Amino acid sequence: MSYSGSERILLSSRREGEASRFHPAVMLLVPLAAILFQVYVPLFFQFLGYLEMPLLVVVYFALMRRSQIRGLLIGAVIGLAQDSLSKAPLGMFGIVKTLVGYFAASVGLRLDVDNGLLRLFLAYFFYVFHQFFYWVMARALLAQQVAFDWQRTLILGLLNAVVAVALFHFLDKMREAA
Amino acid sequence: MESFLNRYRNITVLLLVIFGQLVLLAWQVRNDQDVRMIRVWTVTAVTPVARVMEWMRGGSIGFLRDYVLLHDTHEANQRLQSEVDHLKLENNFLKNELNMAERAKALSVFQEHTPSKTVAANVIGSGAGTNSKVLFTDRGSTAGVQRGMAVVTPDGIVGTVIQSYPTASEILLITDPDFAAGVATQKTGARGTLKGQGTPLCKVDYIPFEEKINVGDWFYTSGDDRVFPRGFPVGVVKAVHPGQPFQEVLVEPSGMHRGLEDVLILLEGVHQTIPTEKVATQPIYIAPPPGSPDLAQVDPIPVGGTEADKLRAHYKAVGDAQNHKFGEGLPGSKPPDFNLVLKPGTPGPAATPPKPASQSPAAPKPTSTTAVAPASPAPGARSQAPAVQPAPAAAPEPISERPHNE
């Protein structure tokens, strides 16, 4: 896939558009740690249950890998793993995170995802998208009559975005040099 | 076709993945079944790590709590220390209460069995001077306390009343240099004058040098001073210094060495006998009051105190068995058969204690329940001494009949 200079309007050089590489152990352990965080940490710190760590990890890897297929596969695997540890049927988080991974990778192809402010915005956007699309699927596929709390979602989106910036910065350290 | 798939490869993969998950989801919802295999894989992959994390968390928290974060240890230590202090105070308080109850019981037993008329008083204060040897008690003239009355405890004499107020009285202790009382030794009956020295030991003056006084001998009140009735323990000899014409004898008062919190003021003193036997140091034992159920189980022990009393009781029983009254027969009349063997039902000396002819009406009446006590009263045994006090051999002379006020 080739991109013209006009398509990568926010990428200042071609080097910035190159996909980041990660050690396979990082690709395995970081999602695992995110899932463990999601199921384990809230047992002791309930307020940390509002952090959607698997989503943030999907967004990060999708953005940095700059490959839509890899992005959607990462999202699908992590989503299904999250489904496996939840009471929801398999596929709910899988579908949503597949879409998030795909779109995040699509964005990463065009924007300079090393920018902190952009990361903050993207994390915020994908969190809201993730929550909203999950709510849509829950209503449409599972016929769950639940209301969508916009206010709460927007506030928690901000919280997750702030954490995402710090998390992305930490995960940047694990990138392998090109 | 190939170029079409190549061009839309990403979206195709996306659609396939989503379609696959939708099918999976639809199958679960439709059949109301779960894809157990995927869940087992995930749980199997996650739980060991979670277990390790939990082990590390528990260990870390335990290590931090036990070895690093000891910030609450100091507070806990202080709290426990405070609790220990509180319990110590409570323990001391309860011990004091118990001591007070024991003292009160001993005082009560002594009061019941002493022939003298007494009134119990609590010590409520001491004199203001640094070398003051006076105390204040909570009994005064309204309770019948008058100047010159003797003050004792079950262990011995304490002092005399030097001032009597309506609600209190002032006691001059025997250790005060102004105090004096007539005393006599237990062994030889040598008489002297007990004087306070302002020290814990008192001096006995006017003991002739030829009188043999040993360390450890007991002094009793002689009744000569007309303040203290005869027979009250005074103290034990601690030192004897020979001299001309009188020895210098130092006596440790026995009435105060258990502390002074409760005393008895003798309203009407009655002379008692000075025990003749050697006084042995005995443990404190508060005998149960007469008639208590505890004593009902005590084996009867012959009373009478001395062999002569037992013999007298035996002869009286022999005389009663033969309808003989001692002292009525004329000279030459047939005496009773003193070798008569008494039947078991006949009252013997154990059941008929002799009634001392010389006993005063106020003297303690020996009963079978008092037989648990030793034959000789111990000044150190504050409760036993009055309970077992033998009847005076000589006729007691109530000193209340005599003017004892100076």
Note the ipTM here.
0.81
A10 assigned to some structural domain? no
CB A68 to CB B49 under 8 A? no
Which stretches does DSSP call E strand in B201-306?
Answer: 202-208, 218-221, 233-241, 246-253, 262-268
- CB neighbours of residue A83 within 10 Å: 27
CB A141 to CB B35 under 8 A? no
Tokens of A125: 């956007």
In percent, the amount of chain B with pLDDT more than 90 equals: 14
Are B119 and B350 contacting, i.e. CB atoms less than 8 angstroms apart?
Answer: no
Optimal mutation site among A2, A41, A72, interface B, most CBs of chain B within 10 A: A72
User: Which among B135, B167, B163, B165 has a CA at the least distance from the CA of B256?
Assistant: B135
CB B17 to CB A76 under 8 A? yes
- pLDDT, residue B60, reads 84
User: What are the angstrom distances between the C-alpha of B195 and each of A164, B159, B187?
Assistant: 98, 11, 20
A150 assigned to some structural domain? yes
Distance from CA of B93 to the nearest CA of A (A): 47
- pLDDT, residue B391, reads 38
> What is the H or E stretch that residue B100 is in?
helix B71-113
Average pLDDT over residues B131-135: 74
For CATH 2.40.10.350, the residue range(s) in chain B are: 113-268
In this predicted structure, the answer to whether residue A132 has a pLDDT above a threshold of 90 is yes
Q: Which residues of B4-20 are buried (b: 16+ CB within 10 A; e: fewer)?
A: eeeeeebeebbeebbee
Q: How many CB pairs under 8 A join A and B?
A: 82
Write out chain A residues lying below 8 Å of B34, CB-based: 89-90
Average pLDDT over residues B87-116: 82
| Average pLDDT of every residue of chain B | 74
Q: Which residues contact A153 (CB under 8 A, 6 or more apart)?
A: A127, A128, A131, A132
- For residue B53, give the nearest of A36, A91, A142 by CB distance: A36
Residue with tokens 């463990």: A36
Alpha-carbon distance B376 to B373, whole Å?
A: 8
Average pLDDT over residues B195-203: 88
- pLDDT, residue A126, reads 95
Q: Which residues contact A5 (CB under 8 A, 6 or more apart)?
A: none
Q: Residue B118 pairs with which residues in a beta bridge?
A: B266
- For residue A95, give the nearest of B21, B38, B41 by CB distance: B21
Alpha-carbon distance B311 to B304, whole Å?
A: 9
A15 assigned to some structural domain? no
CB A36 to CB B50 under 8 A? yes
Query: Residue B390: left if φ>0, alpha if ψ -120 to 50, beta else—which one?
Result: beta
A87 assigned to some structural domain? yes
Average pLDDT over residues B2-11: 78
Q: Which residues contact A53 (CB under 8 A, 6 or more apart)?
A: A34, A35, A37, A38, A167
Alpha-carbon distance B402 to B159, whole Å?
A: 20
A86 assigned to some structural domain? yes
Average pLDDT over residues A26-48: 85
- CB neighbours of residue A172 within 10 Å: 13
Between B28 and A53, where is the model more confident?
A53
Q: Residue B163 pairs with which residues in a beta bridge?
A: B170
Type of residue found at B161: V
- pLDDT, residue B298, reads 45
CB A69 to CB B50 under 8 A? no
CA B41, distance to chain mean position in Å, is 78
- CB neighbours of residue B156 within 10 Å: 26
Write out chain B residues lying below 8 Å of A102, CB-based: 10, 14
Q: Which residue of A has its CA nearest to B9?
A: A69
The class level of CATH for B113-268 reads mainly beta
Q: What is the pLDDT of residues B314-341, one digit of tens each?
A: 888 888 888 877 777 767 777 778 777 7
Q: Which of A68-72, A161-165, B105-109 has the lowest mean pLDDT?
A: B105-109
Residues of B near A (Cβ–Cβ under 8 Å) read 9-10, 13-14, 17-18, 21-22, 24-26, 28-29, 34-35, 38-39, 41-43, 45-46, 49-50, 53-54, 57
- For residue A89, give the nearest of B25, B46, B49 by CB distance: B25
Our CA angle for B133, B134, B138, nearest 5°, is 150
A7 assigned to some structural domain? no
CB A36 to CB B10 under 8 A? no
- pLDDT, residue B287, reads 53
Packed helices A116-141 and A150-172: angle between N→C axes, nearest 10 degrees: 130
Distance from CA of A177 to the nearest CA of B (A): 27
The dihedral built from the CA positions of residue B20, B23, B28 and B31, taken in this order, carries a sign that is negative
- For residue B28, give the nearest of A84, A90, A95 by CB distance: A90
Q: Which of B158-167, B223-232, B292-301 has the lowest mean pLDDT?
A: B292-301
User: Which among B215, B194, B222, B197 has a CA at the least distance from the CA of B206?
Assistant: B194
- pLDDT, residue A136, reads 92
Alpha-carbon distance A144 to B25, whole Å?
A: 14
Average pLDDT over residues B177-198: 89
Highest averaged pLDDT of the listed ranges B163-177, B357-371, B377-391: B163-177
Cis? peptide before B289, omega within 30° of 0 = no
CB B18 to CB A98 under 8 A? yes
- pLDDT, residue B202, reads 92
Residues 53-112 of A with CB under 8 A from B: 68-69, 72-73, 76, 80-81, 83-85, 89-92, 94-95, 98-99, 102
CB B49 to CB A36 under 8 A? yes
Residue B249's pLDDT band, with cuts at 50, 70 and 90, is very high
CB A98 to CB B54 under 8 A? no
Residue B360's pLDDT band, with cuts at 50, 70 and 90, is very low
Our CA angle for A70, A73, A77, nearest 5°, is 140
Domain that holds residue A121: 22-176
Q: Residue B233 pairs with which residues in a beta bridge?
A: B220
Optimal mutation site among A70, A90, A93, A136, interface B, most CBs of chain B within 10 A: A90
CB B45 to CB A32 under 8 A? yes
- pLDDT, residue B150, reads 92
CB A98 to CB B24 under 8 A? no
Write out chain A residues lying below 8 Å of B18, CB-based: 95, 98-99
Q: Which residue of A has its CA nearest to B28?
A: A89
Give pTM, 2 decimals: 0.44
Average pLDDT over residues B167-187: 89
Optimal mutation site among A84, A97, A106, A134, interface B, most CBs of chain B within 10 A: A84
Query: Residue B308: left if φ>0, alpha if ψ -120 to 50, beta else—which one?
Result: alpha
Alpha-carbon distance B380 to B216, whole Å?
A: 13
Are A38 and A54 contacting, i.e. CB atoms less than 8 angstroms apart?
Answer: yes
Average pLDDT over residues A48-63: 91
CB A90 to CB B22 under 8 A? no
A127 assigned to some structural domain? yes
Half-sphere exposure of B305 (CA within 13 A, CB side): 19
In this predicted structure, the answer to whether residue B302 has a pLDDT above a threshold of 60 is no
Q: What is the pLDDT of residues B224-239, one digit of tens each?
A: 888 898 888 999 999 9
Average pLDDT over residues A108-121: 87
Query: Helix or strand or coil: residue A145?
Result: coil
Are B194 and B234 contacting, i.e. CB atoms less than 8 angstroms apart?
Answer: yes
In this predicted structure, the answer to whether residue A177 has a pLDDT above a threshold of 80 is no
Query: Residue B251: left if φ>0, alpha if ψ -120 to 50, beta else—which one?
Result: beta
In this predicted structure, the answer to whether residue A51 has a pLDDT above a threshold of 80 is yes
A5 assigned to some structural domain? no
| Average pLDDT of every residue of chain A | 85
- The total of structural domains in chain A comes to 1
Write out chain A residues lying below 8 Å of B26, CB-based: 141
Between B373 and B344, where is the model more confident?
B344
Describe chain A by its helix, strand, coil percentages, rounded to 5: 70, 0, 25
